Amino acid sequence: MIVNHVGLRVLDLDRSTRFYEALGFRPALTADIPDGPSARLLRLEEPVGLRATYLVNDGFVLELLAYEHHAGAPVERSMADTGLTHLSLGITDLAEAKALVEELGGEVLGDTDLGVACMVRDPDGQMLELLHVDARPVTP
């Protein structure tokens, strides 16, 4: 078994694509997914209107999902919530990465800044850890 991708529901596909591109991801594919298969797989009522963009970074694939016919709202998850808590992104310049996050509609959680790591939220509220590449705890 291999890890294929991680899916992330977003409210504005273009905005989120720009956000993650600025953090080092590159677009690989954007596709409009037919309602029948997507509704069944995702357990959503038709119509779905799913558009997915796949972004890659160092072998990791991030799938951004936008639904035309299903409303959503930004989330504010806690690190204590069950489930996926955050994505950790290796960066070389923390100050530059934090500036990009704010410039592109995200939020820097300044009280979490440790100098080599800081938590931020993307424009939809998903938690991201910005971690200096030299502080990587595990190498694949």
pLDDT at 136: 84
| Token pair in block for residue 24 | 């080092």
CB 65 within 8 A of CB 78: no
pLDDT at 76: 84
| Token pair in block for residue 111 | 């009280």
pLDDT at 79: 92
DSSP state of 26: E
pLDDT at 138: 85
The maximal CA–CA distance of the chain, rounded, in angstroms, is 48
Phi, psi dihedral angles at 25 (to 5 degrees): -85, 155
Calculate the average pLDDT of the chain.
95
Please give the Cα distance from 101 to 66 (Å, whole number).
Answer: 20
Tens digit of pLDDT at every position of the chain (140 positions): 999 999 999 999 999 999 999 999 999 999 999 999 999 999 999 999 999 999 999 999 999 999 999 998 888 888 999 999 999 999 999 999 999 999 999 999 999 999 999 999 999 999 999 999 999 888 87
Phi, psi dihedral angles at 63 (to 5 degrees): -105, 120
H or E stretch covering 117: strand 117-121
pLDDT at 59: 93
pLDDT at 137: 82
pLDDT at 23: 96
